[in-house]
Amino acid sequence: MYDSTSRPPLFPPARRRHALRATAAGVALSAAVLTAGCGSPQDTAQNSGDTASSSEGFPLTIDNCGVKTTYDEPPSRVVTIHQHPAELMLALGLKDRMVGTAFPDSPVLPELKKDYESIPQLAEKEPSFETVLEAEPDLVYGGYASAFAENEGRSRKAFADAGIDTHLNREYCGKKRVTMKDTYDEVRTTGRIFGVPDRADKLVSRLQKRVDKATAAVEGEPEVPVFVYDSGDKSAFTAGGKSLGTELIRLAGGENVFADLDDVFGDVSWEQVVERKPEVIAIYDYAGAGSVERKKKFLLSQPALKDVPAVKNKRFVVLPLTATLVGVRSAYAVEDLARGIHPESFE
């Protein structure tokens, strides 16, 4: 388990804090799917009440990470905390429902940039409870579990007591392995909450086609060993077998050399990295963890790593952190990884 006091000063442990808060926020999940096609156990949904609801499909009850919420109508004033739920809402054409965002991690997708910048940014990191209240939302949609950190006064109960609904990205509901199915289920759940299930289905179809195109391009190619470098100098903070990153690498024709790490993220020694001989290094890029150039310079400057094939041949693939999370960017990451792992397949 990570101890924040042990982090070397080279790269701040922002991503590490997210992972740990996610673990701390794990809750018992409902095993019953209440309506056909409504997604995985993290979020279950059922239409409730009579058919004379104000919007088709409403009232709607969602069980999200153990918190049940009944929506009488689609939310109309939403604050997103963290970037990936904001991008998901924008990809569903829901800009008009968004009254605030917070904590941008990475450059926004070009096609969403204009809309994203038109929404008030409430804070560079997680906003205070009071700041969120000032935006007068009817729903707060969090990307990481830290969106609803109890020790910072932003618990889901605190929002509920203030009459504000909450929704947490399913990636942070528990400790199970995260897959692309979680991305598709999150899109569909969000579509139901906002009364736009047809848009959600179309978006899922587009994302699946993007993934299928990339995987088809590398079909039959040998799996290439890939090491994920998030941050760290005395040790390496990397993606484990439960992370979505492991599946993204697999779909792109690679193999995470630390897929046997039984966690979403964890520390490994540089000696282990050397032993596993990665041929490609996927660098996660996000604010607060040092620039990509700084990370590359660090890897290339370490004598112990000079014979690692990926370092020796300078084979790096850069991924925005948001592209490795449950959200619309993950489908794009498969193509980026595939091009970096098997460039010959795209010539």
Q: How far apart are CA 282 and CA 27, in angstroms?
A: 31
Beta bridge partners of 78: 98, 139
pLDDT score for 45:
55
**What pLDDT does residue 1 have?**
31
Please state the CATH superfamily assignment of the domain spanning residues 213-346 in this structure.
Answer: Nitrogenase molybdenum iron protein domain (3.40.50.1980)
* Domain locations in the chain as residue ranges: 17-209, 213-346
**3-state DSSP call for residue 237?**
strand
In this structure, the number of other CB atoms found within 10 A of the CB of residue 57 comes to: 17
Q: Render the burial of 229-246: b for 16+ CB within 10 Å, e for the rest.
A: bbbbbebbbbbbbbbbbb
Tens of pLDDT, residues 67-120: 999 999 999 999 999 999 999 999 999 999 999 999 998 889 999 999 999 999
Structure tokens at 18: 């997210």
Domains 17-209 and 213-346 share a fold: yes
Q: Which residues of the chain have pLDDT under 70?
A: 1-54, 175
| Residue-level pLDDT at 10 | 35
Q: Give a three-class secondary structure readout of 138-159.
A: CEEEECCHHHHCHHHCCCHHHH
Show contacts of 180-184: CB within 8 Å, 24+ apart: 180/211, 180/244, 180/247, 180/248, 180/251, 180/330, 180/331, 181/40, 182/40, 182/42, 182/244, 182/326, 183/207, 183/244, 183/326, 183/327, 183/328, 183/330, 183/331, 184/208
pLDDT at 46: 53
User: Which pLDDT value is given to residue 43?
Assistant: 62
Topology, domain 17-209? Rossmann fold (3.40.50)
What is the dihedral sign for C-alpha 193, 195, 201, 203?
negative
d(CA 60, CA 78): 17
What integer pLDDT is reported at residue 347 of this predicted model?
84
pLDDT score at 18:
40
Contacts 24+ apart (CB under 8 A), 28-37: 28/66, 29/65, 29/66, 29/173, 29/174, 30/63, 30/66, 34/61, 34/63, 37/188
Residue 25's pLDDT is: 36
Q: Please report the pLDDT score of residue 312 as a whole number.
A: 97
Residue 253: name the closest of 346, 344, 338, 323 by CA: 338
